[in-house]
Each structure stands twice: as C-alpha cells, then as structure tokens.
Amino acid sequence: MAETRIVIIGGSIAGLSAAEAARAQDPGCAITLLTEDPHLPYYRQRQCEVLEDRAAAQKLVIHPKEWYTIRGISLRLGQAVTGIDTQERAVALKDGSRLPYDRLVLATGSASVVPPIQGADLPGVETLWTMEDALRIESRLKDARRAIVIGGGLLGLEAAYAFHKRGIDNAILERLPRLMMRQLDERAAELFTRQVEKEGSEVTTGASVAEIYADRAGRAAGVRLADGSQHPADLVLISAGVRARTEILSGSGVAFDRFIQVDQRMRTNVPDVYAAGDCASLDGRWYGLWMVARGQGEAAGHNAAGGQRAYAAKTPPYMVNTMGTHIASAGLTQQEGMTSDEIARAYADVMENSEMFQYAKKLYLNEHLAGFILLGDTRAFSSLNKELAIGGTA
C-alpha cells in the first residue's frame, strides 16, 4: 500500500507538534512540514530575549536540522503556501508548484493586528510576531532613545521590559482601564502597575490613540492621544492583538470565521483536513497560548496519521514572568464575567503586601476554590491549581 502523504502548513509549535505526533503514530507515512518562515522552528514566546540580546536567537531554536532528518520529516523553510485545493487534494506554493496530500494539517497561526491608526504605516512603527520582526527591531535599538508600546498585554509588557533592560526609556499605552484586565482584578492590577513603573516603564491606561505623528524626515516621532497629550518616541511598537492566518482558505471549502472551526479531534468540516493552534477555535474557544497550540498540534498530527485522539479543551492557567515579578491566575478571579448567581455565592480570601507588590486572592464558590490570582509570590500555584482541577472549575 502507498504511504500516506501528510502535509502540514505552519512550522511553529502547532505544526511541529503535529509532525512529531504523526511520526509517532505512523512510522511509515510521508510528512512534509511547510513554513514561510526562513528560520528553523523556534520558541516564539521567548522572542523578547532577542530584543535584549541578538545572540539569543540561536538559543531559541527548538530542534537542529538533523532532528527532522532523523525522523523523516521533510522540513521546507521559506515555502509560502498561497492556496489549497481540497477537491484535488493539493496545496499551491508561491513558487508555482503544487504538492499533493492525503491528509492536511493547517497550523498557520497568527499575525499581528495593526489597527487603523493614522501613521501606523510610518517608518519606525513596528509589530512583533516573527523572528525577523525581533531581529529587525533589535537592530534599531542601538539608535533608539525612547520607545512607545501601544498595547499593555503580555507581549507589550515583555517588549517594554526588554527595552528597559537595553536602557531605552519607554511608555506603555493601554486602551483598557487597567493592565492585564482578564487576568488581574482591580487591586492586583494596581499593584502590578506600580511594579511596572518601578521597573522603568510609564503606564497610561484608558489611552485612546489618535495618531502616530511623523518628524520632518517622515519617520514616526511619537503618539498623540485623543486627549491631546503627546508621547514622543523614535520607536513605536504596536502590540494590539493578533488575527488568525486564514487567508489561504478562500474558496477551499474549509469553514472559518475569525478562526478555523474544529471539533475535539481537530477535524475541520472538510474530510482529511485538520487545523490546530492559534489559527483554530474549538467549540468557539480560542486561547492564543503556546501550550494549547502544542496540545492541539499533537492531537491533529496523531489523527492525521490514523489515530483517534480528542483534545481536552480546558482553560489553561495563566503564568507570566515579566517586569521583575511573577503572575499566575486561573479560573474565576473577579466579578467581571461571573453570573449574578455566582456573585451571590462567591467568597474571596485576599492577602496583600503592598510594599512588596504582592497579592494573593483565592475565590471560592460555596466551599470550592473557583479561581485564584497570585502576584509576586507564585509558590502556591501548583497546589492551588491542583485544588482547582479537583473542583473541576478550571
């Protein structure tokens, strides 16, 4: 019998995990891993290390080239896919060639969103998603004196911290009323913001960006807010979220809205086409997290190679180490997002050391732990997460 041809589009953690799982499930199948990125798959979530030190790019490579050769995984770097033909079962590559498949895994991930801000296309305005982005931004840092980060999510915070470590003054402009709104309650966000400011970043919340203005040479020179205030900068990083890469799916018959819809076995609506990671949503849920992309990629690859694995969709805990502190949060942590019945039954156990910017909150529904926030000291994470898992609310 002819070997099964598995083609995977996307060479980051979802695609790589799919390739590894497919090989484990079927030692005889042919696996091709296509990625438009010219770099060997790397730990994308650690890219801010490259902003601190260019040499870190080497350390972020997940596996050397031989790893793929030994496993019979044909890794094709710098290969952009332009479309897929699910009738003929082939993918079209930018160089004009076509590659036939028996099973296809879509692991095309995310790209940075650039909101429609006037001046967002000026030279000196950056986004950060790929290694090329990180290397390009790093090469500009030696001449930069002040940076503005638009967006105070995790990526924006990590970038601002890297700028600070490089000795570059920086400010974070966050549209929402507080930092890390989904993960931290009001008090924890207040303490965390003080920690961020202690680490050298100015923070403006509720910031509505009106425009990125230019200098006489036509380069970005700063950000003006709707309240008229101006924030000068010679580097502006937009970190305003991501969108799923679905552009190759037009006309393919694969169902997608903002994301590709998959079931628990990571199957799309088209037979033998799977999707995993940041490009996919399962039961309407999307996380944008490394570990989720890895787990979904494993399930997709296993199933593409003939297995029957379901991905257990469970909201993962949130863990962050940045700005000289640690944050862990999981489950229900604040009234926002709770039903009125839950609010009535909720009880919070809070401990705080404001001088150390430390905060621990355990939220109970009846007698059961429903969620927690740990800021500063996260040593209780494992036991609380275990308690939460037993309670079944995570």
Ligand X SMILES: Cc1cc2nc3c(=O)[nH]c(=O)nc-3n(C[C@H](O)[C@H](O)[C@H](O)COP(=O)(O)OP(=O)(O)OC[C@H]3O[C@@H](n4cnc5c(N)ncnc54)[C@H](O)[C@@H]3O)c2cc1C
Distances (CA, A) of 337 to 121, 183, 392: 36, 11, 18
From candidates 241, 288, 307, 391, binder to ligand X by CB under 6 A: 288
Cα–Cα dist 18/134, whole Å: 25
Our finding on whether 126 is near ligand X (CB under 6 A) is: no
Total Cβ atoms within 10 A of residue 141: 17
Say if residues 233 and 141 touch (Cβ distance below 8 Å): no
- Smallest distance from the beta carbon of 249 to ligand X, in angstroms? 10
Pattern of binders to ligand X over 132-161, x per CB under 6 A? ----------------------xx--x---
Q: 48 vs 360, which CB is nearer to ligand X?
A: 48
Residue numbers 34-93 binding ligand X by CB under 6 A:
34-37, 44-45, 47-48, 80-81
Asked if 12 interacts with ligand X (CB under 6 A), we say yes
Measuring CA to CA, how many Å separate 104 from each of 15, 79, 178, 270? 11, 16, 42, 10
From the list 106-114, 140-148, 160-168, 329-337, the region that binds ligand X by CB under 6 A is: 106-114
Q: How far is the CB of 288 from ligand X (least distance, A)?
A: 5
Closer Cβ to ligand X, 338 or 374, answer by number: 374
Sole binder of ligand X in the list 42, 68, 161, 290 (CB under 6 A): 290
The interface region with ligand X, picked from 3-11, 66-74, 141-149, 209-217 by CB under 6 A, is 3-11
Distance CA 221, CA 124 (A): 8
For ligand X, give the closer residue by CB, 112 or 333. Answer: 112
Report the residue from 67, 129, 213, 286 that binds ligand X according to the rule CB under 6 A.
Answer: 129
What tokens were used for 164? 């600070």
Contact characters 349-368, ligand X, x per CB under 6 A = --------------------
Comparing CB distances to ligand X, the nearer of 30 and 242 is 242
104 touches ligand X (CB under 6 A): no
Q: Do residues 193 and 178 lie in contact, with contact meaning Cβ atoms separated by under 8 Å?
A: yes
**DSSP code string of 312-378:** ---PPPEEEEETTEEEEEEE--SSTT--HHHHHHEEEEEEEEGGGTEEEEEEEETTEEEEEEEES--
135: which DSSP letter?
H
Rounded Cα–Cα distance for residues 317 and 329 (Å): 6
18 binds ligand X (CB under 6 A): no
- H-run or E-run covering 265: none
Q: How many residues bind ligand X (CB under 6 A)?
A: 35
Residue 108 sits in the site that holds ligand X (CB under 6 A):
yes
Give the helix/strand (H/E) hosting 287: none
Tell me the closest approach of the beta carbon of residue 58 to ligand X, in angstroms: 17
CB of 338 to ligand X, least distance (A): 24
Q: Which of 8, 99, 172, 248 binds ligand X (CB under 6 A)?
A: 248
CB of 40 to ligand X, least distance (A): 10
**Measured between alpha carbons, how far is residue 306 from residues 3, 25, 36, 75, 76 in Å?**
12, 7, 27, 21, 23
Q: In this structure, are residues 245 and 108 in contact, taking their beta carbons and an 8 Å threshold?
A: yes
Q: Which residue shows structure tokens 């990625």?
A: 35
Confirm or reject binding of residue 256 to ligand X (CB under 6 A).
no
Provide the CA 110 distance to its chain's centre, in angstroms: 8
- Residues in contact with ligand X by CB under 6 A are 9-15, 34-37, 44-45, 47-48, 80-81, 107-110, 128-129, 154-155, 158, 245, 248, 277-278, 288-291, 293
